């Protein structure tokens, strides 16, 4: 099935899934059992595993086999997340993924942020795209449901069974196996009247902080439980209506002056980060075109012409993306100006204004990541071709500029953009001027 992951794994990829940031496949694994390591037990690491096919299942079941471990027996961090959301592969502060998501997140939290001592904690949260996750209390006040189980440093893998049927979300956990060798599931939570809809991606992300765990995934098995009478369009309409109801609630519109200041600055910084990355990438492409303009005496002219054409084509794509990002940036700056002039007051108007812009910013940032990821692959192929030609002594010069740009883009894709998203709230607020 296109939504499932089962060993054995290929050397560098899994069909219909993307690994990113620091995630990698360990084909041998412990006891010769392969797994996907989302993050190693090292500080400040992020990793993700995202399904590339949107789910059209109205009802479904996921059985996740995982293992969380580190040399520190009683202190772990930060945790990993199961996602069923509209947008994928956008890095962020919520266990390695974006905040203000649209859909379901189930968090396996191993760090005791709130001081209650109930970690490891498992919590489920639905977000309609307008809510900021609150890590200070481990999301307790935002959770649909929670449970606490000691799933770290177990002698064997653990299992989580997540079931969504008839608008009811349930989860069971197995920390050991029964006599027959099957997972011995016990209830974690069950929540009624949860509308998740369709057209969403399954995913796993993880993040480590000052303390760190290995976050390993061994399998991800999905089963379609949709009844014969299930209708996808009806599910879409029900979800749309539920989101409209959520957005109409006062708690989704009101915004304090401090929150408003923080949100506008965050959007401005995020857009500026994207603009900076685009400009640096365009400079790199210009360098490629310059260094590719003069092949050696015995050079392959067709190869060089192809190199220049592809670099110019990528430059055009980046330029188009830059123009779209600039349009969104202008909208955010208009909001900033209105706030400085007192024309947008904190409250429902501010909340609506920010909520309208935030999805646009996240959408453009996601598109930017996609463009740069494609660029990374294309330039990697070109670098290989030029390296082969150089070894054959058919051209002069070298592919160093390709390597340089690839390193830069890889750094961006593996977490450079999280610098903004992991910035502390106080440091962002300290930059606010004029309100």
pLDDT digits (tens, 9 = 90+) for 116-135: 656 789 999 999 887 778 88
Instruction: Give the residue among 91, 20, 130 at the shortest CA–CA distance from 277.
Output: 91
Dihedrals phi, psi of 99, to nearest 5 degrees = -85, 170
Structure-token pair, residue 223: 């089963």
DSSP of 19-57: EEET-EEEEEEETTEEEEEEE-SSTT-EEEEEESS-B--
The CA distance from 284 to 406, in Å, is 10
Q: What is the pTM of this model?
A: 0.67
Fold of 17-250: Jelly Rolls (2.60.120)
Per DSSP, helices labelled H in 48-132 are: none
Residue 62 near residue 83, CB atoms below 8 Å: no
Q: What is the domain partition of the chain in residue ranges?
A: 17-250, 257-429
pLDDT at 365: 62
The CA distance from 77 to 79, in Å, is 5
Q: Which residues contact 66 (CB under 8 A, 6 or more apart)?
A: 80, 108, 151, 157, 158, 159, 160, 215, 216, 217, 218
H/E run at residue 60: strand 60-69
Scan for tokens 């049927």, then name that residue. 165
Dihedrals phi, psi of 126, to nearest 5 degrees = -100, 135
CA-based radius of gyration for the chain = 24
Query: Mean pLDDT: which of 35-39, 377-381, 398-402 is highest?
Result: 35-39
The CA distance from 80 to 208, in Å, is 9
Q: pLDDT confidence of 152, banded at 50, 70, 90?
A: very high
Residue 38 near residue 49, CB atoms below 8 Å: yes
Reduced to 3 states (helix: H, G, I; strand: E, B; else coil), residue 171 is strand
Reduced to 3 states (helix: H, G, I; strand: E, B; else coil), residue 5 is strand
**What is the arithmetic mean of pLDDT over 257-280?**
61
Count how many Cα atoms sit within 13 Å of the Cα of residue 13 in the half-sphere of its side chain.
6
pLDDT at 246: 81
Asked whether the predicted pLDDT for residue 156 surpasses 80, the reply is: yes
**What is the arithmetic mean of pLDDT over 360-389?**
58
pLDDT at 271: 61
pLDDT at 245: 85
Asked whether the predicted pLDDT for residue 244 surpasses 60, the reply is: yes
Whole-number average pLDDT of the chain = 74
- Structure letter (DSSP) for residue 209: -
H/E run at residue 215: strand 214-224
The CA distance from 367 to 350, in Å, is 26
- Between 86 and 348, residue with greater pLDDT: 86
């Amino acid at each position: 099935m296109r939504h499932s992951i089962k060993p054995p794994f290929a050397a560098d990829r899994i069909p219909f899934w993307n690994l990113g940031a620091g995630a990698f496949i360990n084909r041998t694994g412990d006891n010769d059992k392969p797994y996907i390591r989302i993050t190693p037990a090292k500080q400040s690491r992020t990793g993700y595993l995202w399904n590339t096919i949107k789910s059209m299942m109205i009802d479904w079941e996921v059985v996740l086999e995982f293992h969380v471990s580190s040399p520190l027996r009683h202190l772990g961090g930060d945790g990993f997340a199961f996602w069923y959301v509209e947008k994928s592969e956008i890095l962020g502060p919520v266990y390695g993924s974006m905040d203000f998501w649209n859909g379901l997140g189930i968090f396996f939290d191993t760090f005791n942020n709130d001081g209650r001592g109930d970690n490891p904690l498992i919590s489920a949260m639905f977000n309609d795209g307008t809510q900021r996750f609150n890590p200070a209390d481990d999301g307790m006040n935002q959770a649909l449901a929670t449970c606490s189980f000691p799933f770290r440093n177990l002698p064997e893998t653990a299992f989580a069974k997540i079931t969504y049927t008839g608008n009811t979300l349930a989860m069971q956990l197995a920390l050991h196996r029964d006599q027959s060798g099957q997972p011995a599931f016990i209830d974690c939570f069950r929540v009624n009247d949860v509308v998740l809809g369709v057209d969403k991606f399954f995913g796993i992300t993880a993040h480590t902080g000052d303390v760190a765990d290995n976050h390993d995934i061994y399998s991800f098995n999905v089963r379609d439980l949709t009844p014969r009478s299930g209708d996808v369009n009806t599910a879409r309409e029900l979800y749309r209506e539920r989101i409209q109801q959520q957005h109409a609630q006062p708690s989704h519109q009101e915004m304090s002056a401090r929150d408003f200041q923080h949100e506008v600055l965050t959007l401005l910084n995020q857009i500026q980060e994207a603009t900076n990355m685009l400009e640096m990438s365009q400079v790199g492409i210009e360098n490629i075109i310059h260094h590719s303009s003069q092949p050696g005496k015995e050079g392959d002219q067709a190869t060089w012409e192809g190199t220049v054409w592809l670099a110019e084509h990528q430059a055009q794509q980046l330029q188009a993306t830059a123009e779209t990002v600039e349009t969104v940036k202008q909208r955010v700056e208009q909001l900033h100006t209105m706030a400085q002039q007192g024309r947008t007051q904190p409250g429902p108007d501010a909340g609506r204004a920010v909520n309208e812009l935030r999805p646009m910013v996240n959408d453009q940032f996601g598109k930017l990541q996609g463009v740069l990821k494609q660029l990374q692959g294309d330039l990697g192929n070109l670098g290989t071709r030029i390296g082969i030609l150089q070894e054959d002594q058919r051209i002069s010069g070298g592919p160093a500029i390709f390597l340089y740009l690839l390193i830069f883009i890889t750094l961006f894709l593996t977490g450079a953009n999280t610098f903004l998203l992991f910035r502390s709230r106080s440091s962002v607020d300290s930059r606010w001027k004029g309100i």
